[in-house]
Amino acid sequence: MHPTFTVLFTVALVAVAALMAAAVAGKLARLDGASYPAALTRAATAFAAVLTLAAATAAALAPYLT
């Protein structure tokens, strides 16, 4: 497999996982009775948290993958 394909595929999977986490967080916030702006804030926080976790994991594993 070409390294560029692997990187792009991984980035796409992380983006999909972040979007799914944001959607679930927003829906759970709405079910909990939060307003739309509050639910959007919680969704954005979850999205950012997943991206941050992915970046931290990639940074920690980078020395072992080269």
Answer whether residue 33 is part of any domain.
yes
What is the count of structural domains for the chain? 1
Q: What is residue 65's predicted lDDT score, i.e. its pLDDT?
A: 81
Q: What is residue 31's predicted lDDT score, i.e. its pLDDT?
A: 98
Answer whether residue 41 is part of any domain.
yes
Show the low-confidence residues of the chain (pLDDT under 50): none
Answer whether residue 38 is part of any domain.
yes
Angstrom distance (rounded) from CA 22 to CA 38: 13
12-18, Cβ contacts within 8 angstroms, sequence gap of 24 or more: 14/50, 14/51, 14/54, 17/50, 17/54, 18/46, 18/47, 18/50, 18/51, 18/54
Residue whose structure tokens are 């980078």: 62
Answer whether residue 32 is part of any domain.
yes
The answer to whether the beta carbons of residues 14 and 50 sit under 8 Å apart is yes
Answer whether residue 51 is part of any domain.
yes
Answer whether residue 64 is part of any domain.
no
Q: What is residue 2's predicted lDDT score, i.e. its pLDDT?
A: 87
